[in-house]
Amino acid sequence: MVALSAVRSMEDRAAATRRIDARVVGVERILEAASAALGEQVSRPIDLGGSTRSSVLRCVTADGGTVVVKAYQDAVGFAAEVAGLPLGGGYGPRLLAVDPSFPLVVMSDLGAAPSLADVLLGESAREAREGLLTWARTYGRIAVAGAGRQDEWERSRAAHAEDGSGWRPFRDASDLAEVLPLAPPGLDGELAELVASYGRYRVFSPGDICPDNNLLTADGMRVLDFEGSGYHSAFLEAAYVRMPFATCWCVFRLPSGLAAEIEAAYRKEVIAVHPDLADDRLWETGVRLAMVTWTIHMTWVLLPRARKRDRPMHHTRTPVPSERQLLRYRWSRLLAELDRDGSGFAAGPG
């Protein structure tokens, strides 16, 4: 395993090579808007990667410090981030400034540190286990920090975006028509049961809890992305462990017993929000429903393009599964889980 200081050094050097030329179209506008929102000049941007939905820049302030500026393609992710960051319990960046007209946010800089994905792809089983347990406890504690604040989150989000529907893995069978052109009888009713489960035992979540969105800093684990923040079933979070990592590229089989240990760490925290989750039968049923939900969602996302060509789940990181490998694993893992106690869905395979 590479020492953490060496990882930081390598990331700093890599970031320096990605320094953005201010002549690039759009960057100057981002810097101007961020400076106006923050009330001081920001400059010397470094591209932190972002996504197709947003641009993320580390910028230097007038006093020589650094901040992170995130500019969005639409108001939906922006509104969720603005609403979610104050509810993060200190595990995410501090929200420093907002420009709804751009839209963009200025956040505190969590610095350069290895992500949980880096540790999982490293050589130390001990560090991987400790990282996973910290990850589970962190999201459990974020759920506790956000308890009783859903109205506050909804008001803030509504103030910055007209679309109030929020994200859902899917709504009904019509969403799945592309991958299931011949839906089996009874599928609509079973999907309705899954959709109804989204609202049970809700907890606050930053949204995208994949390993690469979590930094292992000197102050503990810190969460990078609140763009998908909101309130959803605790079971959707718990299923990330049992599957593992429902929507992520960094997916490998966990050693026997480790997944159960990590799941128990998350469950122990969220029981403080929902004491009923101490009931083993209730917990098992809920997690299995969530596994069905995530498996169908990833089939909907990946199958249309995986049919045409198999591609790696990440374009630069290795080792990594291909899309077809991931889909096969998702379904085999789900069917094994449903068969474990004879439960299942009549309209599903098997």
pLDDT digits (tens, 9 = 90+) for 216-251: 999 999 999 999 999 999 999 999 888 888 888 877
Torsion, Cα of 191, 192, 197, 199 (10° steps): 130
All CATH 3.90.1200 domain ranges in the chain, comma separated: 116-339
CATH architecture for the domain at 116-339: Alpha-Beta Complex (3.90)
User: What is residue 230's predicted lDDT score, i.e. its pLDDT?
Assistant: 93
CATH architecture for the domain at 4-108: 2-Layer Sandwich (3.30)
User: What is residue 168's predicted lDDT score, i.e. its pLDDT?
Assistant: 62
Q: How confident is the model at residue 5 (pLDDT cuts 50, 70, 90)?
A: very low
Q: How confident is the model at residue 6 (pLDDT cuts 50, 70, 90)?
A: very low
Alpha carbons 335 and 348: distance in angstroms, whole number: 10
Amino acid identity, position 145: A
User: What is residue 235's predicted lDDT score, i.e. its pLDDT?
Assistant: 93
| Contact call for residues 113 and 107 (beta carbons, < 8 A) | no
CA distances from 163 to 20, 151, 306 (A): 33, 16, 31
pTM to 2 decimals?
A: 0.84
HSE at residue 305, side-chain half, CA atoms within 13 A, is 8
CA dihedral for 239, 242, 245, 249, sign (positive or negative):
negative
Residue pointed to by tokens 């809920």 = 286
pLDDT score of 15 more than 60: no
CA distances from 212 to 116, 173, 205, 216, 271 (A): 6, 31, 16, 10, 26
Alpha carbons 71 and 103: distance in angstroms, whole number: 6
All CATH 3.30.200.20 domain ranges in the chain, comma separated: 4-108
Average per-residue pLDDT in the chain? 84
| pLDDT: which is higher, 12 or 100 | 100
Query: Which neighbouring-strand residues pair with 62?
Result: none
CA dihedral for 294, 300, 305, 310, sign (positive or negative):
positive
User: What is residue 137's predicted lDDT score, i.e. its pLDDT?
Assistant: 96
Contacts of 234 (CB under 8 A, 6+ apart): 143, 201, 202, 203, 270, 273, 274, 277, 286
Q: How confident is the model at residue 180 (pLDDT cuts 50, 70, 90)?
A: low
Least confident of 61-65, 109-113, 201-205, 316-320: 316-320
